[in-house]
Amino acid sequence: MQYHFADRIARAPASFLEELFRVSSDPTIISFAGGLPSSALIDTEGIARATREVMEEEPQVALQYTTTDGYLPLREFIADRYRHRLGVPATADEIQIVNGSQQCLDLFAKLFLNTGDHVGMERPGYLGAIEAFSLYEPVIDTVPLEEDGPDLNAFERLVKKTQVKFFYGIPNSQNPSGRTYSQEKRKAIAEILESSGTVFYEDDAFGELFFDAQPRLPVKRRVPDQAVISGSFSKTVAPGMRIGWMYAPSGILAKFNVVKQAADLHSNFLCQKILHRYLTTHDLDANIRKIVAAYGRKCRLMCELFDDLMPQLTHTRPEGGMFLMATLPAGLSSRRVFDEGVKNKVAVLPGLPFYVDGGGTDTLRLNFSSASDEQIAEGMQRLARVIASLR
């Protein structure tokens, strides 16, 4: 049978996932290639208690259909947290609940992009966004991501000359690089945006995961009507609940809501109720403190082992999040490191899929959140041996 798929499917980037699945299903391989939060830090008991309470007290409500925008008390919780944590005057009306912040990427692209439209993002950029946007057949223009944020000249050119519909960025502990925008660059980006028609899409998957527990202020604070923020409980509570949100000005959110309704009517209401019960009966900040203490320790360990065992590589030094990026010495390809690594029971992710232009062949993304400290120590020894053998 020959299937006649839509043309847009051909635009979707080739997926590396199959190989990754093979790697992650082999328990003898230490994998830094995936992107999972630590399972050990999910409060399974607290979530089980919240689930029992919801099912005992209001099962018929929680198992019924609901409105598209999401459970109002949960949206109020999110808006309240923006006001208190970041001093941003968010209201529940500006929050739409979604199925993990990944859904925002799809719905936002569906809302804004016609075939051939220009969209901007960082180079390297988040693979999940490249995949989601590609299905709407835009031209993806990239801006080099420097140590402290996007190259401002390139960003200004892109926004003013190419007139991208929106620019997608991850100012806090970016995936894949682990980089964080400086306050100066956030201010400069807001100033450049102000004289353009470009919307800034801040993906804030990691904003609560700074190792120093200090919040960084979003670009949206300076350009409230020209920026949206996507957020998620995946990294602070549990990714399997699939609860995230879009925080956007009403002029965007009303239309976003139409697109969301057409896609799935609403996000899983039972999970929204359980999550809200959990958040109001447990100390989220205490949970986050545990997570950032563990991730900070694991990140420092990985960086030290790079410096001690593989001084010929350079790597980023994240202030938060779950990933860092390493650059190989000249002449060594990340694909070879991946293939040899798997043979030697350590997996790292080649950077290639994060570059829409086919670059980054000398880069690796490493996840430090899911492996134990012992696995990090052993896995980095294995990686060092692989790299030494390829030189």
**Residue 324 near residue 317, CB atoms below 8 Å:** yes
Reduced to 3 states, what is the DSSP secondary structure of residue 315?
strand
What separation, in Å, do the N-terminal and C-terminal C-alpha atoms of the chain show?
47
Q: Work out whether 383 is an interface residue with ligand PLP (CB under 6 A).
A: no
Smallest gap from residue 179 Cβ to ligand PLP (A):
12
**Residue 86 near residue 279, CB atoms below 8 Å:** no
In angstroms, what CA-CA distances link 200 with 25, 93, 342, 353? 38, 20, 39, 23
| Closer residue to ligand PLP, CB minimum distance, 150 or 244 | 244
| Closer residue to ligand PLP, CB minimum distance, 229 or 310 | 229
Give the C-alpha separation, 186 to 188, whole Å: 6
Please report, as residue ranges, which positions from 170 to 199 form the binding site for ligand PLP (by CB under 6 A). Answer: 170, 175
Give the C-alpha separation, 381 to 275, whole Å: 40
Give the C-alpha separation, 188 to 245, whole Å: 26
Reduced to 3 states, what is the DSSP secondary structure of residue 281?
helix
Q: What is the DSSP string of 42-78?
A: S-HHHHHHHHHHHHHH-HHHHTS---TT--HHHHHHH
Q: Work out whether 101 is an interface residue with ligand PLP (CB under 6 A).
A: yes
Count interface residues toward ligand PLP (CB under 6 A): 14
| Closer residue to ligand PLP, CB minimum distance, 228 or 387 | 228
The one segment of 43-51, 141-149, 232-240, 261-269 that binds ligand PLP by CB under 6 A: 232-240
In angstroms, what CA-CA distances link 317 with 59, 146, 175, 388? 47, 13, 13, 22
| Closer residue to ligand PLP, CB minimum distance, 233 or 310 | 233
Among 34, 73, 128, 249, binds ligand PLP (CB under 6 A): 128
The one segment of 99-107, 159-167, 348-356, 358-366 that binds ligand PLP by CB under 6 A: 99-107
Smallest gap from residue 192 Cβ to ligand PLP (A):
22
**Residue 302 near residue 366, CB atoms below 8 Å:** yes
Place of tokens 């946007």: 133
Find all residues with CB under 8 Å of 374, minimum gap 6, and list them. none
Among 102, 177, 180, 367, binds ligand PLP (CB under 6 A): 102
Among 31, 198, 232, 257, binds ligand PLP (CB under 6 A): 232
Smallest gap from residue 140 Cβ to ligand PLP (A):
16
Q: Work out whether 267 is an interface residue with ligand PLP (CB under 6 A).
A: no
The one segment of 97-105, 115-123, 209-217, 308-316 that binds ligand PLP by CB under 6 A: 97-105
Give the C-alpha separation, 257 to 174, whole Å: 27
Q: Work out whether 38 is an interface residue with ligand PLP (CB under 6 A).
A: no
In angstroms, what CA-CA distances link 343 with 30, 82, 158, 336, 384? 11, 46, 43, 11, 14
**Residue 356 near residue 338, CB atoms below 8 Å:** no
Task: Tell me, residue by residue from 151 to 170, as one string, x for binding to ligand PLP by CB under 6 A and - for no binding.
Answer: -------------------x
Among 122, 137, 156, 203, binds ligand PLP (CB under 6 A): 203
Q: Work out whether 205 is an interface residue with ligand PLP (CB under 6 A).
A: yes
Q: Work out whether 272 is an interface residue with ligand PLP (CB under 6 A).
A: no
Q: Work out whether 244 is an interface residue with ligand PLP (CB under 6 A).
A: yes
| Closer residue to ligand PLP, CB minimum distance, 175 or 334 | 175
Smallest gap from residue 359 Cβ to ligand PLP (A):
19
Instruction: Enumerate binding residues for ligand PLP (CB under 6 A).
Output: 35, 100-102, 126, 128, 170, 175, 203, 205, 232, 234, 239, 244
